[in-house]
Amino acid sequence: MKIRKSLAAMALGSALVIGTAGFAAAAPADASQRGAERQEQIARAEIRRGELLEQEGHRLESRGDWRRGQRLERQGENLERHGRQLLRQAELREHKGLERSWR
């Protein structure tokens, strides 16, 4: 009776280990691809917010609120710059992920 239980436990454990190893080997490519897509979405959102801040800054400057307008323009430029940097990183990450899938 003890031998049957231990054999069954070893068989179940082996199946779980093999299944987990197969799943873990396939998971990183999908996770990195999703990470690159998510980073690209965040980058595009930052670029849009930066453009909107710049437009608001121009509008404030035209109304005579120079300091606040310039501050918003700088913030917008910084957001756009950061968004473009994130976009480049996401494209590189996606490109590297594609290279790995070919190998």
pLDDT by residue (tens digit) across 6-57? 777 777 777 777 767 665 555 555 666 677 788 889 999 999 999 999 999 9
The pLDDT assigned to 102 comes to 46
Domain ranges for the chain, please list them: 2-102
- Kindly report the number of other CB atoms within 10 A of residue 80's CB atom: 18
37, 89 contact by CB (below 8 A): no
Q: Cα separation of 1 and 7, whole Å?
A: 10
Q: Cα separation of 13 and 49, whole Å?
A: 52
Sign (positive or negative) of CA dihedral 81, 82, 83, 86: positive
